[in-house]
Structure 1
Amino acid sequence: MSDKTFSLDVGNDGVAIITMDVPGESMNTLRDSFAAEVRDLLGEIVQDSSIKGVVFTSGKPGSFIAGADIAMLAACKTTDDAYQISRGAQQLFNELAALKVPVVAAIDGPCLGGGLELALACDYRICSDSAKTVLGVPEVQLGLLPGGGGTQRLPRLVGVARSLDMMLSGRQLRAKQAKKFGLVEETVPLSVLVDVAREYALKGKRKAVKPNLKGAEKLLESTAFGRKVIFDQAGKKVLAKTQGNYPAPLKIIDCVRTGLEKGLDAGYEVEARHFGELVMTPESEALRSIFFATTEMKKESGAGDAKPLPLNKVMVLGGGLMGGGIASVTALKAKLPARIKDIAEPGLQNALAYSYKQVDKRVKKRQMTPAQRDKAMSLLSTTTRYDGIKDVDIVVEAVFEDLNLKHQMVKDVEANCGEHTIFASNTSSLPIGQIAEAASRPDKVIGLHYFSPVEKMPLVEVIAHKGTSAETIATTVAFARKQGKTPIVVQDGAGFYVNRILALYMNEAANLLLDGEPVEALDKALVKFGFPVGPVTLLDEVGIDVGAKISPILESELGSRFAAPAAFAKLLADDRKGRKNGKGFYQYGGKAKGKKPVDESVYQVLGIQPQGRLSQSELAERCVVQMLNEAVRCLEEGIIASPRDGDIGAIFGIGFPPFLGGPFRYIDRLGAKSLVERLRSYQERFGDRFAPADKLVAMAEQDERFYP
């Protein structure tokens, strides 16, 4: 077996095929250590006068180049170390572009980051029409920017506005979109991909190309003033979206602007300099840690060496919003047959309509054909009785939060399904051990807590009670992954992990509100801190009645620090449930889009006069330290297995700011000692709900961290 990554094969037609195939890896990624090998190949091509063109392809089926290997960035000790990596990539791709014969990228599968930058250095790009083929520059999601010349080549190929959209969002284009944008010349069936690429390789060097723009787009980009408008608008949108918490987007804009205004050399220089600076930022370090954590978690069963059982058929109990969402991701993402049971036909029809809406959206966006939509929908079936379910492998229960009802569901499933069938409850607050008390096979009972809306929220909590078998855990984790979810395994207990840390954060926001802080001030402060929405908006979205129902369960199981503020009772007495009944903290009438105005009458209901005495940073700190403190308690009690799981759970479950890396990485940044001091200061002023966790106090005394 060769230890080389690149091979060269010259055909009788004079076309040289360069094949990239990183030994021992499932996907190709670029490393700076490959530079010498590539330069040797380029030297061979220059010396061989029989070569008329070059096709660059991958030796890995369904995968072109997934990007650069970001592990190499961890070795960078200084900004200059990272600057040199960028400079090296730019120079190598420039050498590829400078070949006197045409070079064609034959793309099948993911072509991302450095992989797309390599393709951009080629004269032509041909891609397969496979559903796996996607092109993009997602570096911004790691707090970085395209550092191999991408900020310079992409705008010149597809236009300023389109390139900024790609780089600032990190979104990936499918084959048809890439063709429409002018990113690739052709999309062809995989069977003829290399043949078509060969034809292009014999066409001769490509002349300078202009973006395929029309109308207002063309008019804007053809003048310096128009481009200034594009850059200014992009900057405003970035700041509105990121609240200034992410440095990479503004640096991307600066790279593109510099290159277009001052030329390629200046553009390459500022790209490498900004890349070097970004690699060393705490934001990029945090975002890269999330990437590594999720990659690592994909290899774990969640239960040591236990192997998951095969999954062939699923049943969902309950056709409501959650049940419909769970059935939808089971059929559409996991591609498993799912049978939905509800007590009435309207519930079943709603669940089917929910799934149809998801797939039909994709048809309208031309991401799938009507035939593919119908095939996906054929995986869903419905029933009002326990029939056709003897062979189901897992039942996901999504009925009301009532212990007696859930006990009945367990008994019904055990009476009608096989002995191997797993019973997974989507409860958000009831301990799984209590649900399992009704089971004759408690080892098959587990929690599977989804977040709403199911099709969008990436996290699920897999909750094991003391009697859950390792095999059941492993199978449930595998099932969640098939649905496209990131599962974390947590131990049983009221609120589990995510709702438990969220509850104290929300309670503190309610306390601040009752102290006279305005609704919009609270929401703005936490959005500025980095949450996707503020706590008051979140309460309206989740439902004030839901929050009120969970609080007593948490208080009875975990103590007085979870006591709900008086706000809940007052709001419910006024029939304020939030968005669901159009009556909450915000106004929901009318068809106006955008930000909803505060319903000022809520202050009268709460008996307060809003004054707004505290700064944004004070408002955010009081809510966030409660979440951090409770996260440490969850680790201390073994609810979560590691700081890594706690960080991923908080980021993917409730939108904890990704640029901070999660509660535990953020505590490391603050310092345990500093956090304990802040908590004790609040404890003196507001009581024992701010008492620091024992583990946190011990860490502060020993000057310890959660991560090395």
Structure 2
Amino acid sequence: MTEKTNSNSSSDSSSDLSNSEQNNQVIHAEENSAKSAALTAFTLVRHDNGIAHLVVDVIGENVNTLKTEFAEQIDAVLAEIKADKTITGIVLCSGKKDSFVAGADINMLDACQSREEVVALSRQGQRIFTLLEQLPIPIVAAIDGTCLGGGLELAMACHARICSDNVKTSLGLPEVQLGLLPGSGGTQRLPKLVGLQKSLDMMLTGKQLRAKQALKAGLVDDVVPNSVLLNVAEQKAISLHQRGKSLTKRKLGLMDKLLENNSVGRNIVYQQAQKTVQAKTQGNYPAPLKIIDCIRTGIEISAEQGYKLEAEHFADLVMSDESAQLRQLFFATTAMKKEQGVANVTPEKITKVGVLGGGLMGGGIAFVTATKANLPVRVKDINHKGISQALKYSYQILNKKVKRRFLLNSEMQKQLAMITGSVDYTGFKAIDIVVEAVFEDLSLKQNMVAEIEENGHENTIFASNTSSLPIGKIAAKAKRPENVIGLHYFSPVDKMPLVEIIPHEKTSDQTISSTVAFAKKQGKTPIVVKDKAGFYVNRILAPYMNEAAILLLDGEPVDKIDKALVKFGFPVGPMQLLDEVGIDVGAKIGPILQADLGERFAAPAAFDKLLADGRLGKKAKKGFYLYQKNNLVKTLQNRLKGIKPGQKQVDESIYSLLNLKPMGSLSAAEISKRCTYMMLNEAARCVDEGIVRNARDGDIGAIFGIGFPPFLGGPLRYIDKIGAKSVVAQLSQWAEQYGERYTPCEALVTMAENSQSYYS
């Protein structure tokens, strides 16, 4: 094979090289060529077979992202391609390892000062990708690694797409997660490739597809090993050139024909999508409905109108407060990934992990350690049943992924092999960090510390997953207290992104940094918090939950309270959350908070009746809601009442148990406001007391730990939005009406007096 770079120099390679060796030579030559090209992210590498490789390699970046300034570079390279009649096809590929194009640079959106600028930016992206699509010769995207957002829009503008079977290869349009929509033609091109229903599913959820899923959906034309990716892409370009760029039409299933091939069927799809969106977003996020509008316009009216509307809706969303907050959250979490637990303290390398306790938490911790951190983990339990539970936890999650073709069976077996179990401490001498997930009993946890100090090595970190016990007390009898730290996960561990890292007074900086690094390897977002009652998340959650309970006792119905907070933006209401977590768990944490922090944390005394009645929540199938399966008669009765199958029903006996008549006089807005303002007040106290390091960590902790509405940016950003003066005035009014628990904290009062805010 002979290669020609921009300077038309050529070099011969032996004809007897394997495909893999040839491919490696091509990659190295193209990487060198891309690096030598002055100040351009796009380099053209010509080959004797008439196929040129267009290499995307953004200088100085770990991954490729599309930037505004690339427009001129792309225009120039497309002009060069058109002018060279020897080029009969293009393979678009990346110079980065495990990354095709990760998306567009979000910073360029924040740089836009007006809606008109954003419209122009979107139209420019559409124009460039249309030029690519209209090239007189075929262009094939060779995708290895992440291909998201603007990267997928770029790939969809090509005439074919071949992707590697690399486990890191993923394709998707996740813009909705930033309160946006694909603004460079994605809403118009994706439906043509994968159909109306699949495109709605992908864009409305931000779902990413693995290679085989993308092939099944029709998003890519072939999936091949990375070693032959470029060769197969070249052959595809040659084939398309020979048959005149004619594209393979998507195969339609029966449901596709019924719902997508006629306007009546499509209307049903649009209406159902709108209903689903409304139910999930409660109208708090404008992006999903605008995505549906763009797709509908492009299909039902014209592509031209679809592109125009896409640019306009994209601009409206970029300028919206919801997207601004979601983008700020993205920047904040990105910045946190670059931080260490303690500045300038390099974490120790962790190679082996231990978990004490094989229950739900222990099983979840073992799962993320093996599958996310890719570290071997030993689960220690007092009996084999606990170990079996931990292994079952991982097997069930991974097996679902295999069934959905998200994971190969061989990969599942490999990951499961990373988890082993033991009823003693065999092998613990080699373990670098042990995560304790046993019962909330102080003496038991202190015994665990002593046993790990005996059976581990001198630097083994002991990380307690306690939700309420002070870490200082757990470490009180330790020989090496500097190795003891809190590592508080949230349930379910495989889904909840947050962990709280809780050092006590004697925890070493090395232990803090190493634990933070370990949590990040598990795919978690860690915040370092002070060792004080409730830490951060439970501390700000408790007043919110208590207020909901007080409203219930004042006669507000259970479902009305929950619906009010879901409408506000929480994923579930406080009463349902209490059922999910366990009413008994809340009862244990309450007295600890009350003893350390005062009477404002006192839970309503009437709740003792719930525990006495065996109402522990979902796990006991008895709480605020019904969890027993309905018989046929009950199902029919519910249908007559308009209650849908699967819809949660309040256990009406809760009212007689608490001697209540659920009349309900407050509006949904008043209910959500009273509960939420209690959380805001406590979050302000936590920042003031240094429980969290800064407002940013406080906001991330609330969003990732308890689902505070992301579109509001977190409790501290929400205080800024309302204004400290307004928050203080409202809390003061309620303090006079309902009691001292509403008294605004000193930090908020000072902010109000000085017109201050948490963020500039």
**TM-score, length-scaled by structure 2:** 0.92
* CA distance, structure 1, for counterparts of residue 520 and residue 626 of structure 2: 38
* CA distance, structure 2, for counterparts of residue 345 and residue 190 of structure 1: 42
Question: 1:519 offset after TM fit, Å?
Answer: 0.3
Do residues 601 (structure 1) and 653 (structure 2) align?
Answer: yes
Which one of the candidate residues 143, 156, 172 is aligned to 2:208?
Answer: 172
Partner of 2:639: none
Partner of 1:412: 451
Partner of 1:343: 382
Do residues 281 (structure 1) and 301 (structure 2) align?
Answer: no
Question: Across the two proteins, how many residue pairs are aligned to each other?
Answer: 708
Do residues 646 (structure 1) and 698 (structure 2) align?
Answer: yes
Task: Pick which of 380-389 and 287-296 moved more.
Answer: 380-389
Question: 1:636 offset after TM fit, Å?
Answer: 0.4
Partner of 1:17: 53
Question: 1:208 offset after TM fit, Å?
Answer: 5.7
- 1:647–1:663: 8 Å Cα contact kept in structure 2? yes
* CA distance, structure 1, for counterparts of residue 217 and residue 422 of structure 2: 46
Task: Pick which of 354-363 and 172-181 moved more.
Answer: 354-363
Which one of the candidate residues 729, 748, 754 is aligned to 1:696?
Answer: 748
Do residues 686 (structure 1) and 738 (structure 2) align?
Answer: yes
* CA distance, structure 2, for counterparts of residue 285 and residue 302 of structure 1: 28
Partner of 1:528: 567
* CA distance, structure 2, for counterparts of residue 188 and residue 567 of structure 1: 63
Partner of 2:106: 70
- 1:510–1:567: 8 Å Cα contact kept in structure 2? no
* CA distance, structure 1, for counterparts of residue 408 and residue 182 of structure 2: 33
Q: Which runs of 5+ in 2 are unaligned?
A: 1-35, 636-644
- 1:156–1:210: 8 Å Cα contact kept in structure 2? no
SS of residue in 1 equivalent to 2:410: helix
Partner of 2:598: 559
* CA distance, structure 1, for counterparts of residue 185 and residue 399 of structure 2: 38
Partner of 1:195: 231
After superposition, what is the alpha-carbon deviation per residue over 1:625-644, rounded to whole angstroms, capped at 9, x for unaligned? 00111011000000101111
- 1:157–1:209: 8 Å Cα contact kept in structure 2? no
* CA distance, structure 2, for counterparts of residue 526 and residue 310 of structure 1: 43
* CA distance, structure 1, for counterparts of residue 495 and residue 67 of structure 2: 33
1:56 counterpart letter in structure 2:
L
* CA distance, structure 1, for counterparts of residue 538 and residue 742 of structure 2: 18
Partner of 1:463: 502
* CA distance, structure 2, for counterparts of residue 177 and residue 208 of structure 1: 20
Which one of the candidate residues 327, 332, 351 is aligned to 2:371?
Answer: 332
SS of residue in 2 equivalent to 1:304: coil
Partner of 1:510: 549
SS of residue in 2 equivalent to 1:32: coil
1:126 counterpart letter in structure 2:
I
Partner of 1:620: 672
Do residues 211 (structure 1) and 250 (structure 2) align?
Answer: yes
- 1:16–1:55: 8 Å Cα contact kept in structure 2? yes
* CA distance, structure 1, for counterparts of residue 425 and residue 192 of structure 2: 61
Partner of 1:89: 125
* CA distance, structure 2, for counterparts of residue 75 and residue 691 of structure 1: 40
After superposition, what is the alpha-carbon deviation per residue over 1:4-44, rounded to whole angstroms, capped at 9, x for unaligned? 21111111111111101011110000011100011000001
- 1:389–1:417: 8 Å Cα contact kept in structure 2? yes
* CA distance, structure 2, for counterparts of residue 70 and residue 9 of structure 1: 29
Question: 1:341 offset after TM fit, Å?
Answer: 1.3
- 1:504–1:627: 8 Å Cα contact kept in structure 2? yes
**TM-score, length-scaled by structure 1:** 0.99
Which one of the candidate residues 259, 264, 280 is aligned to 1:220?
Answer: 259
After superposition, what is the alpha-carbon deviation per residue over 1:99-157, rounded to whole angstroms, capped at 9, x for unaligned? 10111111100111001111111111111111111111000000000000111111112
Which one of the candidate residues 394, 398, 402 is aligned to 1:355?
Answer: 394
* CA distance, structure 2, for counterparts of residue 550 and residue 696 of structure 1: 26
Do residues 132 (structure 1) and 184 (structure 2) align?
Answer: no
- 2:341–2:514: 8 Å Cα contact kept in structure 1? no
* Match runs of 1:438-517 below 5 Å: 438-517=477-556
Do residues 257 (structure 1) and 296 (structure 2) align?
Answer: yes
2:520 counterpart letter in structure 1:
R
* CA distance, structure 2, for counterparts of residue 590 and residue 115 of structure 1: 46
* CA distance, structure 1, for counterparts of residue 499 and residue 752 of structure 2: 32
SS of residue in 2 equivalent to 1:3: coil
* CA distance, structure 2, for counterparts of residue 46 and residue 107 of structure 1: 23
SS of residue in 1 equivalent to 2:628: coil
- 1:124–1:206: 8 Å Cα contact kept in structure 2? no
* CA distance, structure 2, for counterparts of residue 210 and residue 382 of structure 1: 51
1:481 counterpart letter in structure 2:
K
Question: 1:320 offset after TM fit, Å?
Answer: 1.4
Question: 1:386 offset after TM fit, Å?
Answer: 2.3
Do residues 655 (structure 1) and 707 (structure 2) align?
Answer: yes
- 1:53–1:102: 8 Å Cα contact kept in structure 2? yes
Do residues 430 (structure 1) and 466 (structure 2) align?
Answer: no
SS of residue in 1 equivalent to 2:425: coil
Do residues 156 (structure 1) and 195 (structure 2) align?
Answer: no
* CA distance, structure 2, for counterparts of residue 226 and residue 88 of structure 1: 34
Do residues 633 (structure 1) and 672 (structure 2) align?
Answer: no
SS of residue in 2 equivalent to 1:390: helix
* CA distance, structure 2, for counterparts of residue 323 and residue 199 of structure 1: 50
* CA distance, structure 2, for counterparts of residue 165 and residue 368 of structure 1: 20
* CA distance, structure 2, for counterparts of residue 211 and residue 225 of structure 1: 21
After superposition, what is the alpha-carbon deviation per residue over 1:317-359, rounded to whole angstroms, capped at 9, x for unaligned? 1111111111121122212111111112221221222222122
- 2:461–2:511: 8 Å Cα contact kept in structure 1? yes
* CA distance, structure 2, for counterparts of residue 647 and residue 284 of structure 1: 16
* CA distance, structure 1, for counterparts of residue 544 and residue 595 of structure 2: 18
Do residues 303 (structure 1) and 342 (structure 2) align?
Answer: yes
* CA distance, structure 1, for counterparts of residue 418 and residue 247 of structure 2: 50
After superposition, what is the alpha-carbon deviation per residue over 1:437-466, rounded to whole angstroms, capped at 9, x for unaligned? 111111111000000111111111011111
- 2:438–2:445: 8 Å Cα contact kept in structure 1? yes
- 1:181–1:212: 8 Å Cα contact kept in structure 2? no
* CA distance, structure 1, for counterparts of residue 658 and residue 104 of structure 2: 54
Partner of 2:725: 673
* CA distance, structure 2, for counterparts of residue 557 and residue 83 of structure 1: 54
1:642 counterpart letter in structure 2:
N
* CA distance, structure 2, for counterparts of residue 16 and residue 70 of structure 1: 30
- 1:140–1:168: 8 Å Cα contact kept in structure 2? yes
* CA distance, structure 1, for counterparts of residue 397 and residue 219 of structure 2: 28
* CA distance, structure 2, for counterparts of residue 553 and residue 189 of structure 1: 56
- Residues 1:686 and 1:563: Cα distance change in structure 2 (over 3 Å): same
1:453 counterpart letter in structure 2:
P
* CA distance, structure 1, for counterparts of residue 502 and residue 662 of structure 2: 41
SS of residue in 1 equivalent to 2:163: strand
1:122 counterpart letter in structure 2:
C
Task: Pick which of 159-168 and 372-381 moved more.
Answer: 372-381
Do residues 49 (structure 1) and 82 (structure 2) align?
Answer: no
* CA distance, structure 1, for counterparts of residue 245 and residue 618 of structure 2: 56
Partner of 2:628: 589
Question: 1:209 offset after TM fit, Å?
Answer: 5.5
SS of residue in 2 equivalent to 1:131: coil
Give every structure 1 segment of 4 or more consecutive aligned residues whose post-TM-superposition deviation is greater than 6 Å.
none
- 2:681–2:745: 8 Å Cα contact kept in structure 1? yes
- 1:235–1:250: 8 Å Cα contact kept in structure 2? yes
Give the RMSD, CA atoms, in angstroms: 1.1
2:685 counterpart letter in structure 1:
R
Question: 1:368 offset after TM fit, Å?
Answer: 2.3
1:185 counterpart letter in structure 2:
D
Which one of the candidate residues 141, 145, 149 is aligned to 2:177?
Answer: 141
Partner of 2:417: 378
